[in-house]
Chains A and B, each alone.
Chain A
Amino acid sequence: MLKRICYPLHKYICIISGLFLLFSQLNYALADNFEQLRKDAANIQTIQARFVQSKSMKILSKPLISEGCFYYVSPDSFRWEYFKPLKSIVIAHKGETKRYISSGGKMTEDKTGGVQAMKIVLNEITAWMSGKFDQNPSFKATLKEGTYTEITLTPVGKSMAGMIEKIIITVSKKDTAVKSVKIIESENSLTRIDFSDAVINKVIPESTFQDIE
């Protein structure tokens, strides 16, 4: 039961975390093709940024807005944190991945985690960090040039069935900055994430991946 909830949830977290790594790499390189992306991935040592997440659904009259921040240190440490409306933190560090939630004003570990599912997530993250976005067998990646550069990731096979229809990343051609990311779950459900204040290759203390509060 616990693993059943853990797997889709953490796979989802993995996707949105991995996406940001992709965007940062796009900032670094004029990403004419995915091979260039892979080469530039090697230059990324650390990333930190803020994000605003906008969730649209038929049941909502207006998008549900969430805010948070993201930290990454190569090769496999990351922290994905929401400040509001529901405080939560996902931390991967030294081979361990944990999710924390706010309970009674304190952060407490999400007990729905399963060790096996965590390993699956870590394997996926490692692949994304290596810039292998077009080599992940779970997604088919395509580039489209227009007013903006648009990267579309479409799930392949059944692993994402019922979870995600496609992911669309819009990148400014002028400065290669990512403008928006859309995770389309269904025709009635869309998650858009806008990143800001991105800082690349600035030292991030290890405590970022150890301290919860």
Chain B
Amino acid sequence: MKSVPILVLTFFFVSCQTLPVINNAPGPQTGKEALICPSPFLKEKYRLIHAIEIQMAGATRSAIIGVTLVDPATRTVSCAILTAEGMVLFEADADAGLLNVRRALPPFDSTSFAKNMIDDIKLIFLSPEGKIHQLGTLSDGANVCRWREENGDWIDVSVHQQGNIDIQRYSASGGLKRHVKFINKAGENIYSSIELHAKELSNYSLLMMLIEAQPVKN
């Protein structure tokens, strides 16, 4: 019985997580230039190969090679995870909502891993599927567009004054689930350096360094 108040407090705390406040969008009424939503997303079919560091509790745990093939026109995604030694640990496709796992060796063989990985790839490379809910500026001055996804999640895409773009995915109740940072220098491919920070039972981060990017002609 003693645990009931704790559970209630936990539920209350979780329920009260709030999304970052967005100030009114600039526009004709404010006399400022209208805001254009930042779009770090792919415009054409691309194949990308990244060296990926996996970090947990602030320490690098392992490194892998990630291959991603994404078509924004059809929203199809193919992906593979390899070790430096060339061993394929995971390979899957997602087409029209259907997930096809071709190969999954431990520890990448859980059903939730495949779905989460495809969702993360879509978050990074494809524009949100939902509707734009709000435009404006965050407290740090970054311009932001907020999407509402069909499943109730919120996606913020913000561009900072230095030009760096962030993507944040929040649960319907406002809890931060993913934070993607594009850390590219001027003139570099926007996907040259990407950080993905995941809030899970065990938080983890992926540091992605681009090896190769290649447009794919059908």
Asked if chains A and B come from one complex, the reply is yes
Which residues of A approach B to under 8 Å, CB–CB? 1, 4-5, 7-9, 12-13, 16, 53, 55, 57, 59-61, 64, 66, 80, 82, 85-88, 101-104, 108, 110-112, 162-163, 183, 185-186, 188-189, 191
Most buried by B among A7, A55, A86: A86
Chain A residues in 8 Å Cβ range of B51: 85-86
CA distance A103 to B69 in the complex (A): 25
Contacts of A191 in B (CB 8 A): 86-87
B4 within 8 A of A: no
Across-interface contacts of A188 in B (CB, < 8 A): 102
B63 CB contact (under 8 Å) in A4, A7, A103, A162: A103
Q: Are A5 and B211 in contact (CB under 8 A)?
A: no
Known: A4-B107, A59-B78, A86-B51. A12 touches B87 (CB 8 A): yes
A89 to chain B: closest residue by CB: B84
Contact: B62 with A5, CB < 8 Å?
yes
Which residues does chain A contribute within 8 Å of B88, judged by CB atoms? 57, 185-186, 189
Task: Say yes or no: A53 contacts B59, CB within 8 Å.
Answer: no
22 residue pairs A–B, Cβ–Cβ below 8 Å: A8-B87, A8-B89, A12-B83, A12-B85, A57-B67, A57-B80, A59-B79, A59-B91, A60-B47, A61-B214, A61-B216, A64-B49, A66-B86, A82-B84, A85-B49, A87-B84, A103-B53, A103-B60, A104-B60, A111-B60, A162-B103, A189-B91
Report the bound CA distance from A104 to B205 in whole Å: 14
Check if A112 sits within 8 Å of B105, measured CB to CB.
no
Chain B at the A interface: mostly helix, strand, loop or mixed? strand
Q: Are A5 and B84 in contact (CB under 8 A)?
A: no
Q: Give the complex CA separation of A61 and B49 in angstroms.
A: 12
A57–B206 CA distance with the chains assembled, in angstroms: 23
Which residues of chain B from 159 to 218 have a CB within 8 Å of any chain A CB?
211, 214, 216
Closest-by-CB residue of A relative to B104 is A162
Known interface pairs A86-B65, A101-B62, A103-B63; A9-B85 also in contact (CB < 8 Å):
yes
6 extra interface residue pairs, beta carbon distance < 8 Å, beyond A5-B107, A57-B80, A85-B65: A59-B79, A61-B214, A86-B211, A88-B85, A110-B61, A162-B105
